[in-house]
Amino acid sequence: MTTAVVTGASSGIGAATARLLAAQGYRVICAARRADRIRALAEEIDGVAIECDITSDDDVARLADAVGGSLDVLVNNAGGALGLEPVAEADLDAWSTMLQTNLLGTTRVTKALLPALVETRGVMVFVTSTAADSGYEGGAGYCAAKAAERAVVESLRLELYDQPVRITEICPGMVRTDEFALTRFEGDEERAAAVYRGVPDPLTAEDVADAIVWMATRPAHVNIDRLTIRPRAQAAQYKVYRES
């Protein structure tokens, strides 16, 4: 049976991707910190739940043990944004957390599971962001973390050019999920809602999951280096149509 690992599988894009991979016939290992949520998801999709904080060496080692010697798909989805302050008011603790998860945590998982992916001629999908493309007001910490994650993707692809493994990246723009903006604004529902106010049909987690699974299921000789996915209303990171 083909096996996939999805990190950050407890909600949003991760949970939607786990469900869709399972529907495609994969045995999905759902990895996230919130054990109750991934257990419920694993039961729903007949998968495996592994409680895993990707910033923990011990947790990632336990994930690697659960995977074993072969892995077909790794979706590096865990990460996220915190805050929207200008650099002059930067919360460096929040910046550190974003770097620990988006950059170091993702690299830790990749390093641990790489041998199993090479063994099976597998594919990695890194979920970065259009935030990796350029900075925007209040976004320096998150943009830096996602740009750093992209640097890992690009270097890894060059380093593994002669190995039977594919390195891919998806860069979502405006995606409305239950928790991304709420987490960014520490549960402030008004600030979270304002991000999407007036925007007709922002992307959903399922939209991004559909693209991820398409990337992961291309023929073995096809590598989708980078795919940017935005709602039609978002022409660029800084230009979004909003209905009055």
Question: How far is the C-alpha of 16 from the C-alpha of 155, rounded, in Å?
Answer: 28
Is the confidence at residue 42, as pLDDT, over 80? yes
User: What is the per-residue DSSP string for 120-177?
Assistant: TT-EEEEE--GGGT---TT-HHHHHHHHHHHHHHHHHHHHTTTSS-EEEEEEE-SB--
Average pLDDT over residues 142-149: 98
Amino acid at 179: E
- How does pLDDT run across 152-163, given as a tens digit for each residue? 999 999 999 999
Confidence of residue 73 (pLDDT cuts 50, 70, 90): very high
More confident residue, 183 or 30: 30
Q: Say if residues 157 and 225 touch (Cβ distance below 8 Å).
A: yes
Q: What is the CA radius of gyration of the chain?
A: 17
Amino acid at 168: T
- How does pLDDT run across 86-118, given as a tens digit for each residue? 999 999 999 999 999 999 999 999 999 999 999
Question: How far is the C-alpha of 222 from the C-alpha of 82, rounded, in Å?
Answer: 35
Q: Which residues are catalytic?
A: 142
**Residue 190 φ/ψ, nearest 5 degrees:** -65, -45
Is the confidence at residue 71, as pLDDT, over 80? yes
Model confidence, pTM = 0.95
Using alpha carbons only, give the angle 47, 53, 54 rounded to the nearest 5 degrees: 95
Q: What is the pLDDT of residue 178?
A: 78
Percent of the chain with pLDDT over 70: 100
Q: What is the pLDDT of residue 172?
A: 97
Q: What is the pLDDT of residue 238?
A: 85
> Which has the minimum average pLDDT: 4-8, 59-63, 69-73, 178-182?
178-182
Helix (H/G/I), strand (E/B), else coil: 10 = coil
